Chain A
Amino acid sequence: MQDHVKIKQICKFFGDNKALDDININIKKGEFFTLLGPSGCGKTTLLRILAGFYQQEEGNLFFEDSHMNNIPAHKRNIGMVFQNYAIFPHLTVFENVAYGLKARKIKKDEIKVKVTEALDMVELSHLKDRQPSQLSGGQQQRVALARAIVIHPGLLLMDEPLSNLDAKLRVKMREDIRNLQKSLNITTIYVTHDQEEALAVSDRIAVMSEGKVQQIGKPHEIYLSPVNKFVANFIGTTNFLDAEIEIIDSDKHATVFVEGAALKTKLFESAYGKGIYSIRPEQIKIKETGDANSALVEGEIVDATFLGESVVYKIRFTSGTLISAHEHSIRYNMLRKIGDLVKVDLNPEEAVIFDESGEEVLNEHKNTSLKETV
């Protein structure tokens, strides 16, 4: 598929502070691409460079084959949806949506048709004569969405559009946005700090931190095979355990010692010494104490939180380390009690082992093969 947006080596400074550091991203036509990261990671800065509200100090930006660096914001044909809606408070709903069309000198009757169509898409046609102050937050954001798509923008940019809405509305709106984006096949770049939202709507996600792209991948890729400790920690929840790595043969098979258990794994490259063992709560298997496998770690249940479909257990190992593990709650007699002694299978097949700094993945795991599907 053709690349629609090409971000090449872009750097942005605010004073001495490097807000964006050598960003390289290619976004495909029709793709729903999300910039995900904690606040201050540079995701909004990057979005504003795409929109033309900021200028990068270094690097190039291309839309298809056009070089965009010197194209001012109002000539970029971008639809933008803002966190705080940015509805024109002095115009009616209809006038808000018609605003961009008027700027394009489109005929009046044509404007009416297009605005009506756009308002239908966001299910707001019945409110077209309202003043924005009479609308709820969710309705205002729909107006903003209609206003952005009615001009048939080359690119749709969304800056945390749902963060001011309540939880239930957020889920409904994100589904609506996703469906609308698919049916219009419009290249969309979406900024959020909410990893669940990002996983739910995106074709691909760029996880950002401290002005750098940490990982670009499909939602399941960044969840199942994070490339570094930051991504593993930011997406979902995980347990980090101290590990000691010993190579056992020339084929990079290794033994990893975690909490006294000797776990077998295969490394990409020879490595030994300290490492970080990352295992997600749902990848951990809880076994009975009778199990004599030497790869299991003994522990005690110290806390249990019942969530309906699953139970989150906090388990304390004999070393004092705490981990959390999920178990599906299917039957009464499967529920464990606080104080129960258990053995824990740390599941090295699915675990990701990082080097001591947390920057690099050392081992091949069950989901390593995913990477080649990109």
Chain B
Amino acid sequence: MKHYPYEGWILDDIDLDETRRADLEAHLALCPRCAQLSRSLRIALQAIRNAPEQKAPAGFIHKFVSSFESRRRLQERKQARTLAIVFASTALTVVLVSLYVFLPELSLISLAAGAISAVVGLLEGLHHVISFISNAYKNLSPSALIVIGLVFAGWVLLASLTLGLSVWKLAFRKSEVKQ
């Protein structure tokens, strides 16, 4: 006996029009397999639909509110840890890159020589920066100097504010949970 399309109609759980419903009923009267499928599905779905809604346990909200602050602290600690790992990784990378750039041969003798030459190189670089700034100071117009100064000051201020805000949020923010 063919079960198509009757099996699909049963399992799709859709409202059939009159013609199809009559067609299905006629098939179910003749086909024990589809009749059993239809009966079993109806029992299963009725059991699901009749099952009562499970109420949340008493004190659910109180538990949520009391765990709220500890969850938030935990999250902030995780964020701080992530920040520290990122910072440490960046610092380590900078150190390793610097060692690679300034001290290509990491033997003990060359390490010492390299360290001295790196310091000399750094001082030389610093000297170049200072001379560049002093030349710029002498050659640039006062308005250009003011703009550069303001941009630099703004950047420093922004960086300080960001750092200060982060420290405040991590260390001093008090509980605001409404009990």
Partners in one complex: no
The interface of chain B, by Cβ under 8 A from chain A, is none
The interface of chain A, by Cβ under 8 A from chain B, is none
